[in-house]
Structure 1
Amino acid sequence: MADFQANTRPFAELDRAGRTRRLRRLAEAALTAYAVPVARLTPLAHGQNTSFRVDGADGHRYVLRVQRPDGPGVAQVRAEMAWLSRLRRESGLVVPQPVPTRARDLVTVVADPAVPEPRTCVLCHWVEGRFVDERLSAPQLYAVGEFTARLHLHGARMNGLDRRRVDDLTEFGRTQVDGFSAAVVERAVAAAGGDERIRKAVARARAVRAELGYGSDVFGLVHGDLHQDNYLLHRGRVHVIDFDDCGYGHFAYDLAVACAALAHLPQREELKEALLDGYRSVRPAAATTDPGVLGAFAALRRVQLRLR
């Protein structure tokens, strides 16, 4: 009886383990679209998306990501995979390498009766490395800065992909021509319980965006969520994963996110300087590293996380 009830309960009523079990069955179905001999499937994380480690019978490892239903749509996920493919091929940066399906598509959409809506799934080769936080060093952050600058050099050329803006405040904001319009800001302030600091942070970010402009030296396709859980260190090199939030924005947004993620560390100032020095070693004239600019985007990021 217990097993029957577990299999028939609405998906929304399941706990994390229950949802992961349902999504595992969907993941198994998704893998049939790929020419990958699967030996073992292991859950990795269940956050906004759900990921599984795939151990292939061919000795290779992969990651299968099952997309959340309220996240980027099929076309947007396909655009993300297209950028990753070009990054691997054209820049030499180590990022996830998408695996095409047998039909040569970079995504597959799978439905399962036990999951309320079809899910977009992608398969990528495993990225080697280890996550570091408390023991991060200045040379490591210098390398992260170099990586970020090279990522932005490539992102400056990636026009026309179907990806959102990374600086939108809310889902409502994404539906407006001006993501910082008065109507968007009013809704954001209301959602934050009337906190007027929201309005000030948005006004500051708007002014900085206008000052920077939208030339390819300051604006393009960016990672959108560059912090310690999304970059790994391997044999002296930086490897970056999880481009699910990638989109168009000012390059300073990426650096502001990376700097803000260091705030809990005692050596944060040294690490921030190393990060920016590494960035300037590739892009020496970048207005992106100006402290006032970074502060404005860091404040905007805090607002976004609060309203998420």
Structure 2
Amino acid sequence: MADFQANTRPFAELDRAGRTRRLRRLAEAALTAYDVPVARLTPLAHGQNTAFRIDGADGHRYVLRVQRPDGPGTAQVRAEMTWLAALNRDTGLVVPRPVPTRENDLVTVVADPAVPEPRTCVLCHWVDGRFVEERLSAPQLYAVGEFAARLHRHGARMNGLDRGRVDDLTGFGRTQVDGFSAAVVERAVALAGGDERIREAVARARAVRAGLGYGADVFGLVHGDLRQENYLVHRGRVGVIDFDDCGFGHYAYDLAVALDALGHLPQREALREALLEGYRSVLPATATTDPEVLGAFAELRRVQLRLR
């Protein structure tokens, strides 16, 4: 009886484990679209999306991501995979390498009766490495800075992909022509319980964006979530994963996210300077690494996370 009830309960009423079990079956169905011999499928940490490690009978490892229903749509996920494929083709950066389906598509859409809506799924080769976390060193952050600059240099050439702006204030803002419009800000202030500091943060970010402009030297396709949880180290090289939040924005936004995530570490000042030095070694753009610019985007990012 318990098993029957677990299988018939509405998806929204399930806990994380229950949802993962349902999505595992959907993931198994998604894998049939790929020419990959599957030996084992293991759930990974459940974030906004649900991911599974795939151990292939061919000796290779992969990650299958099942997209959340309220995240980027199929066309936008395909654009994300298009950028990753281009990065693998054009650069030596360590990023996930998409696996095409048998029909040579970079995504597959799968439905399962036990899941309320079809889900977009993608398969990528596993990225080796470890998350350093509190043991981060200045040389590692220098390498992260170099990586970010090379990523931005490539992102400047990727115009036309179907990705939104990373700096839109809220989900509602992403549906508007101007993600900082008066209507967007009013909703954000209300969502934050009337906190007027939201207006100040938006005004500061708006002024910084206007000052930077939108030339390819300061604006393009960026990662959008360059936190410690998304970069890892393997044999001295930095790799970056989870491009789910990638989109168009100022390069300083990526750096602000990375720098703000270091605030809890005792060595944060040395790490911050190392990251900026690494970035400037590739792209010596003083506007992108200006402290006031980075501070404005860091404040905006904190507001965005608060309003999610």
In the TM superposition, what whole-angstrom CA distance separates every residue of 1:158-186 from its partner, at most 9, and x where no partner exists? 10000010001111111211111111111
Provide the aligned length of Structure 1 versus Structure 2: 308
TM-score norm. by structure 2 comes to: 0.99
Partner-residue secondary structure (3-state), 1:193 = coil
Give the CA deviation at 1:285: 2.8
Q: In the alignment, does 2:175 pair up with 1:175?
A: yes
Paired residue type of 2:155: G
1:199 alignment counterpart? 199
1:117 alignment counterpart? 117
1:266 alignment counterpart? 266
Query: Within 5 Å, which residues of 2 pair with 1:212-223?
Result: 212-223=212-223
Range with bigger deviation, 175-184 or 99-108: 175-184
After TM superposition, where is structure 1 displaced by more than 3 Å over at least 4 residues in a row? none
Q: In the alignment, does 2:139 pair up with 1:139?
A: yes
> Identity over aligned residues, as a percent?
87
Instruction: Could you tell me which runs of 5 or more consecutive residues in structure 2 were left unpaired when the two chains were aligned.
Output: none
Q: In the alignment, does 2:27 pair up with 1:27?
A: yes
Q: In the alignment, does 2:306 pair up with 1:281?
A: no
Do 1:226 and 1:254's aligned partners in 2 also have CA atoms closer than 8 Å? yes
2:92 alignment counterpart? 92
Q: 1:188 & 1:198 partners in 2: Cα distance?
A: 7
Q: 1:175 & 1:11 partners in 2: Cα distance?
A: 27
1:129 alignment counterpart? 129
Q: In the alignment, does 2:159 pair up with 1:164?
A: no
Partner-residue secondary structure (3-state), 2:264 = coil
Give the CA deviation at 1:286: 3.8
With over 3 angstroms needed to count, the CA separation of the structure-2 counterparts of 1:150 and 1:286, relative to structure 1, is farther
Q: 1:50 & 1:283 partners in 2: Cα distance?
A: 35
Partner-residue secondary structure (3-state), 1:288 = coil
1:208 alignment counterpart? 208
Q: In the alignment, does 2:18 pair up with 1:18?
A: yes
In the TM superposition, what whole-angstrom CA distance separates every residue of 1:208-227 from its partner, at most 9, and x where no partner exists? 00000000000000000001
In the TM superposition, what whole-angstrom CA distance separates every residue of 1:184-221 from its partner, at most 9, and x where no partner exists? 11110000000011000000000000000000000000
Instruction: Could you tell me which runs of 5 or more consecutive residues in structure 1 were left unpaired when the two chains were aligned.
Output: none
Q: 2:285 & 2:23 partners in 1: Cα distance?
A: 47
Do 1:141 and 1:274's aligned partners in 2 also have CA atoms closer than 8 Å? yes
Paired residue type of 2:129: G
Partner-residue secondary structure (3-state), 2:134 = coil
Paired residue type of 1:190: A
Partner-residue secondary structure (3-state), 1:46 = coil
TM-score norm. by structure 1 comes to: 0.99
Q: 1:186 & 1:7 partners in 2: Cα distance?
A: 42
1:246 alignment counterpart? 246
1:43 alignment counterpart? 43
Partner-residue secondary structure (3-state), 1:42 = strand
